[in-house]
Chain A
Amino acid sequence: MSLELGVKSSELRETKRKTITVAVAGNPNSGKSTLINAIAGSRLYVGNWPGVTVEKKSAMFEYEGSKIKLVDLPGTYSLSPYTQEEIIARDYLITEKPDVIINVVDATNIERNLYLTIQMLELGIPVVIALNIYDEAEQKGYRINTKAMEEMLGITVIPTVATKKSGLNDLLKAATEAAANPSRYAPKQLHYSEDIESAATFIQTHLNEHHSSLQKRYPMRWLAFKVMEGDSHMMKEAGLDIDISLIEQATKHLTRAHGDDIESIMADERYAFAAGLTREMVKRPEIRKMELTEKIDKVVLNRFLGIPIFLAAMWLVFKLTFDLSQPFGDWIDGATAGPLSRLAAKAITAVNGPLWVASLATEGVLAGVGFVLAFVPVIFAMMFFITFLEGSGYMARAAFVMDRAMHSMGLHGKSFIPMLLGFGCNVPGIYATRTLENPRDKALTALLLPLMSCGARLPVYVVFIGAFFTTHAGTVLWSMYVMGIALAILMGVIFKRTLFRGESPMFIMELPPYRMPSLRNLLIHTWEKGKHFLIKAGTYIFAVSIIVWFLLNLPWGVESKKDSYLGKTGQVIAPVLEPIGFGNWEAASALVTGLIAKEIVVGTMAEIYAVEQEEQEETTVSEDIREIGASFTAAVGDSIRNVFATFGVTSISAEEDDSVSGLRTVIQKAFTPLTAYAFMAFVLLYMPCVVVAIAMKHEFGTWKWFGVAFGYQMVLAWVVALTIYQGGKLLGIGI
């Protein structure tokens, strides 16, 4: 190696030493994310762990002269090699070797939390325990001897109350101190029973002799434990190929004596350690009061009241999410389509810009921006309420109540909320699948979700029902929703036996105590997620809407829509739609634009059938600007009114204007009641819209699941429409 390179690497080491990497680890529900938010707040950067869709939060900041890089590890109960979260957490600790671990421990539930701590101590990295929710533990009358805890484990313990930001300064001070003196703050090595220790020593000696190169990368004692446990993930990672008979030789007396596998023996040992420590350190009051959580659960999970309370809660979440956000979404939509577009057009005309530039700027760019922004209010509202449900502890109860029903479709209890939100808009529904931990549960939920008839499909139903089914309007509309749900159940059963064959994921879930999430925390969380959507998904959606503008308007100057690229696409597709009752280019083109958002089907039809539209009145620049302000004030008013008038307000109301009633008359000529019904079913079922596609890509990190959804939905829509049309024709109904 050249001298120059040597200098560089030492410089690198120098800078690395100045930046202290702090990993924050802990059990779910230990208040870890509250603690992170309290420490880093707006400095947090939210992304994903590479290759997976598990969220990664990190922050860089200065603390008393040292540069700190804070990395939030996924909340886990253990460091086993079975769940995505656990693998991420331990791979990070092993490969990135942070300078110090802040281990957030729930002071009200020390024993189970210490089980994870013990596994981290095996790694030899300095650990500082944030003994969080300390106030609640005190209220319960727990007396915790933190000094004893420090002595027994050889680490620093700082009581914290993250919700009140107390203890955080001491915590950071302890962490930087430990990071600066790693040898002094190295945790004590815990000794397990003699037979385990001797087996571990035997394996460790073998590793040191035959795989000495691994010493640089791994703590060898820890690696020996992993080898004993038969942790194939870790052995593969380390490139270890050890003769199984050697491992058996070292462990056979253990397995024989305990009558169990090594992995379980180790879990037992670690828990025995945690139990012992807890006994020494924590004094609980003799008589236990009935706790608030128990009291609430007596009602909320009651055999008779459980379901009604759950449904009421869900109804409230649904109403609030959509009622609160809809006026703002409409405002953004209206402002970009109306006054802002007019302002842009005026500006372009003023500088003598060509007509196509004005069209691209308003109908392409501005419409695209408006389209992205219109989703922001609903995404924010959804994130807010989902975070509230999770933070308060009710999410786990909702899953508990609904699991039986959802499990029969191959889903998880937590799948219910994303599905429910899907009725308002599939997009927040897809994002809400992040509450599901298991990748299989999550994917299946997202696949079935587009069958929930969203608000954007309603305008299509309204037009067609108004044209053909006025006498049975309610029944026909209802049948669309029921059809979606019934087909979701059917597809769930089919997927369970095909794409998702095999053992369904387990349901072993903590029911955490109820806690009131702080508003600050809710807002930070909501903002992080919303921002992420805006940047990641927004770019894609914007690009797509530009492409669509080109599709609709090129070749520039076409007289008839039939000659535009869109019309030509429609003509190509039309024959495929022939057997299902609407094989004409008009319907086909409308369906193509529906891929942007299903409600656009109506707008395109109006345009294609050349329904006369109201001429827009001339407005001045100041009028346009005033209109944006006035409509915003109106939106705020509507939103507030919606919250108070939650009872009786219809969330999804289709707007009706003159163009709609004009469209009805045209449609009555182009369709029959039978083809109209087949068309409605087709709109309900055919491919998810492009925003859902982008949300799926965003949430899963791959286009794969969208591909599956696209494929099965197209086939399903075609088959269902075919059955309706051909069946109806055969029976002579509605021709």
Chain B
Amino acid sequence: MNLSMLKPGEKGRITKIGVTGPVKRRLMDMGVLVGEEIKIEKVAPLGGPIEVTVKNYNLSLRKKEAEGITVEAVK
């Protein structure tokens, strides 16, 4: 399951960052790391990007980028 499949309010634990290169490094620099818990807060009114909470702060990313992040659902 990837991050873009979660709905607002749902949480997941990151199991894999599937993207490579600068995007991967940027995600990791922003604290999007394997093992981290990530929560979907909102989807922008036009259907994207999405807002998530990770490491206790708010981050937004496009759906395309979210698709590269594999997660397992957390209750």
Contact = CB atoms under 8 A, between A and B. Distances in A.
Interface of A: 77-78, 80, 82, 109, 111-112, 115, 263-264, 267-268, 271, 293, 297, 301-304, 306-307, 396, 400-405, 407, 413, 506-512
B62 A507 contact: yes
Interface of B: 17, 22-31, 33-34, 42-49, 51, 55-62, 65
A506 B29 contact: no
Q: Please classify the interface of chain A as helix (H, G, I), strand (E, B), loop, or mixed, using the class held by over half of its residues.
A: helix
A137 to B, nearest CB: 12
B56 A264 contact: no
Nearest to B22: A82
A403 B51 contact: no
B44 A306 contact: yes
B28 A267 contact: yes
Contacts of A264: 17, 24-25, 28
A508 B29 CA distance: 11
Contacts of B33: 267-268, 271
B30 A77 contact: yes
Given A78-B29, A267-B33, A407 B62 contact: yes
Contact of A506 (B17, B58, B65): B65
A303 B45 contact: yes
A508 B58 CA distance: 11
B54 to A, nearest CB: 9
Contact of B56 (A109, A271, A396): A109
A510 B58 contact: yes
Contacts of A511: 51, 58-60
Given A77-B29, A264-B17, A404-B48, A396 B24 contact: no
Nearest to B28: A267
A80 B22 CA distance: 9
Given A506-B62, A509-B59, A403 B44 contact: yes
A326 B58 CA distance: 38
Contacts of A267: 25, 28-29, 33
B29 A115 contact: yes
B25 A507 contact: no
A158 to B, nearest CB: 23
Nearest to A413: B49
A403 to B, nearest CB: 5
Given A82-B22, A82-B25, A508 B65 contact: yes
Contacts of B24: 264
Contact of A112 (B22, B27, B31): B31
Contacts of B59: 508-511
Contacts of B34: 268
Given A401-B45, A407-B62, 8 more contacts: A80-B25, A82-B22, A111-B31, A301-B42, A303-B45, A396-B60, A401-B46, A509-B61
Contact of A82 (B26, B55, B60): B26
A279 to B, nearest CB: 12
B27 A508 contact: yes
